[in-house]
Amino acid sequence: MTTHPNTAATPAGTTAAATRPRLNLAKAAPKAFRALVGLDAAAREGLDPSLVELIQIRSSHLNQCAYCLHMHTNDARKAGESEDRLHMTAVWREARHFFTPREQAALALTDAVTRVGDAGVPDSVYAAAAAHFDDQELAHVLALILTINTWNRVALATGKVAGTDERVG
């Protein structure tokens, strides 16, 4: 293992510099942070809370964001979501019977937008979502997907730890 000359290796294989607390975005860029919080709140408007959590959970799975996954699965449980559906969100395509056609369309759109660099957003995925949501709902679903992807990146870039009580998004 190589380390930067000014850092020492820790038992976990990380460097001492990497174990220092990272940037607190809310404190360092409060205006940008408040704008993201505002986008998050606006994106949720008019959407079923269960659908909101499913989208956020799925994106967090794909982005491997343990902090947001922990937060949103707990929020979903508190809102009454079943353990079966929470567990099946990661493999929703193989467990479609746990989700309504509308939820499946939203999850497929979440997959495509989250992985946009792989193949863009296929017309068929967009058309399926558009068939289940009116324009306003679809705009909110898209805004929510964009927002949770941003929150995932904030949590990952700033080293948020799953299970801590400070909320990111």
Q: Which of 8-12, 19-23, 24-28 is the least confident region?
A: 8-12
Percent of the chain with pLDDT strictly greater than 90: 83
The pLDDT-based confidence of 165 (bands split at 50, 70, 90) is low
Domain enclosing residue 115, as ranges = 59-163
- Distance, CA of 148 to CA of 60 (rounded, Å): 8
Within a domain: residue 32?
A: no
Q: Quote the tokens at residue 22.
A: 């990272």
Q: How many residues does the chain have?
A: 169
Domain count, the chain: 1
Return the pLDDT at 19. Answer: 62
Within a domain: residue 107?
A: yes
pTM across the whole model: 0.86
**How would DSSP label each residue in 106-159?**
HHHHHHHHHTHHHH---HHHHHHHHHHS-HHHHHHHHHHHHHHHHHHHHHHHTT
Within a domain: residue 139?
A: yes
pLDDT in tens, 88-135: 999 999 999 999 999 999 999 999 999 999 999 999 999 999 999 999
Q: What is the CATH number of the domain that holds 115?
A: 1.20.1290.10
Q: Which of 4-13, 30-39, 66-75, 160-169 is the least confident region?
A: 4-13
Q: Quote the tokens at residue 146.
A: 């964009």
- Statement: residue 50 has pLDDT above 80: yes
Closest CA to 37 of 48, 25, 51: 25
Within a domain: residue 27?
A: no
Return the pLDDT at 13. Answer: 46
Within a domain: residue 25?
A: no
139 close to 156: Cβ distance less than 8 angstroms: no
Return the pLDDT at 162. Answer: 94
Within a domain: residue 100?
A: yes
Return the pLDDT at 157. Answer: 96
Within a domain: residue 49?
A: no
- Statement: residue 153 has pLDDT above 50: yes
Return the pLDDT at 168. Answer: 58
57 close to 72: Cβ distance less than 8 angstroms: yes
Within a domain: residue 116?
A: yes
